[in-house]
Amino acid sequence: MARVLASEAVPWMAPALFAARLVVTEQLPYIAAVDRAMRVYVSRAAISSILHNEGLKKALSGLAFVWVHEIWHVLRDHAGRMPASGSPVRWNVACDMEIDDWLPDGLTCPKQRAPILPKHFGLPDGKPAEWYYVHLPDETDTPSTGDASSGEESTNAPSGNGAGASAPDEGSGVHNQPRPWEMGSGANGEAEANGLTPLEVEQVRLLVARTLLSEKSRGDMPAGWVRWAKMLFEPVVDWRTILLRRVRGAIVEGIGNRIDYSYRRPHRRGSVLYPLLLPSLQGDYLPRVACVVDTSGSISDHELGQALAEVRGVLEQLRAPVTVIPCDAVPYEAVQVMHRQDWVQLGGAMKGGGGTDMVAGIEAALRLQPPVDAVVVLTDGYTPYPEHAYEVPVVFVLWKPGSDDPPKPPMPPWRQRDVVVVPLAQEKRRAR
């Protein structure tokens, strides 16, 4: 009954609530716990005490909150985030502080399980468990000495006011350390005890995140949970790593277009297949890169300088000369950048200030001699895009000064891997 009430209060958690297994046990010293296989353990004595002292309706509301709370630990992957050689009790308190700041409508905290809030320890709200773990007082490592048979637990809050903040032990689903009351041991044991496999747990986690992000269930969702769901589908990856990989891939593709087999110099291992004569690859392996930079009137000096500084660090790792072409509505004289000091002096050569047409800059880069292997286009995205792909690989680096995503090239003919978005410090944009 409590599980049904919990699914009505938090509908986007229903896939996890009904996938979890319920285990009632006499061994649990705490009101409830959870293990890595998403089995929720509840103390028979604690439930009896809650039903006796609070009545059925209020008891169901409290047990529904406890059920949701234990599942939250698994969804947030607290077991996987547990610090190496850390204190289980200290980590448990830190995790509770991360998720106890939101009480769903229709649910109440039972008296035997008051929320553990950062203010109980004199700490600010909204921090991750890793931050709370470091800043908690040392005496937080003392476990709770509550007696589940009486339905009461001690309050060991080091800050002095306590407010029901106890030091719990909620099982391996929180701190990744198995406890005696948990069922199963190893892969076979988990299956025999009717627990979920790690793959099934991850599938449930993704299903909950997808349900939360759906239009019908967003509502007044806490910002922290929305960020958590988005991170599962949009993992944070360093854009510099992405850009370097994209440019290197484009260079390899471009070099492959101009390197070919030739019999002018026989293959150095051709003697193995004598009397057959094998050709060898011939050509210049030094990469040649062109960088088309948007210098139109819509680009502020702050944006241009920051974008060049960010991208320069990536292009320098290529250890290859880069030809920079300033471009607004028309391309300007190309500048060869060979060394780090050349990037510093590049600002004086950035002509422009008119309209915007990066297509003209790309075509100017393709006319360079010797031909380039890859073209990097540095722009804010407010430009006409080419309607067709070129034989030479082109990578669009779009800088994002605020929270709005820049306009991207049409897909197709371009692909998602052809675009890298670079976040910049926000600045008020001049009128277009």
**Which domains occur in the chain, in start order?**
2-233 (no CATH), 239-423 (3.40.50.410)
Q: Torsions phi, psi of 62, nearest 5?
A: -70, -40
Q: Which two tokens stand for residue 220?
A: 């007044």
Q: Is 152 left (phi over 0), alpha (psi -120 to 50) or beta?
A: beta
CA distances from 390 to 176, 362, 366, 394, 418 (A): 52, 10, 9, 7, 12
Per-residue tens of pLDDT for the chain, all 432 residues: 888 888 888 888 888 999 888 888 888 888 889 998 999 998 888 888 888 887 788 888 888 888 899 999 999 989 888 887 788 888 999 899 888 878 888 788 877 777 888 888 888 888 888 888 888 887 665 554 444 444 444 333 433 333 334 567 888 889 888 888 888 644 444 444 578 888 788 888 888 888 888 755 555 667 778 878 877 766 555 667 777 777 777 777 766 666 667 777 776 666 777 777 777 666 656 778 888 888 888 777 767 776 677 677 677 776 777 888 888 888 888 888 766 666 656 655 677 778 889 999 999 999 998 888 888 898 888 889 998 888 888 889 888 776 677 888 988 888 888 888 877 655 444 433
Letter string b/e over residues 11-50, b meaning 16 or more CB atoms within 10 A of that residue's CB: bbbbbbbebbbebeeeebbbbbbbbbbbbbbbbebbbebb
Q: Which of 279, 276, 274 has its CA nearest to residue 263?
A: 279
Instruction: Give the Cα separation of 398 and 328 in Å (integer).
Output: 15
Of 52, 19, 34, nearest to 92 (Cα)? Answer: 34
Q: At a CB cut-off of 8 Å and minimum separation 6, what does 220 contact?
A: none
Q: In whole angstroms, how far apart are CA 423 and each of 223, 304, 333, 397?
A: 21, 13, 28, 10
Residues linked to residue 21 through DSSP beta bridges, in sequence order:
39
Please provide residue 86's backbone torsions phi and psi, each rounded to the nearest 5 degrees.
-90, 170
> Residue 324 corresponds to which amino acid?
V
Instruction: Supply the DSSP string of 109-138, one letter for each residue.
Output: --GGG----GGGGT--SS--HHHHHHHS-G
Cβ within 8 Å of residue 179, ≥6 positions away: 33, 35, 169, 171, 172
Sheet strands (E) in 31-97? 32-34, 39-43
DSSP state of 144: P
φ/ψ bin of 192: left (φ > 0), alpha (ψ from -120 to 50), beta (otherwise): alpha
Among 422, 421, 290, residue whose Cα is nearest residue 362: 290
Please state at what angle helix 198-213 crosses helix 223-233, rounded to 10 degrees. Answer: 120
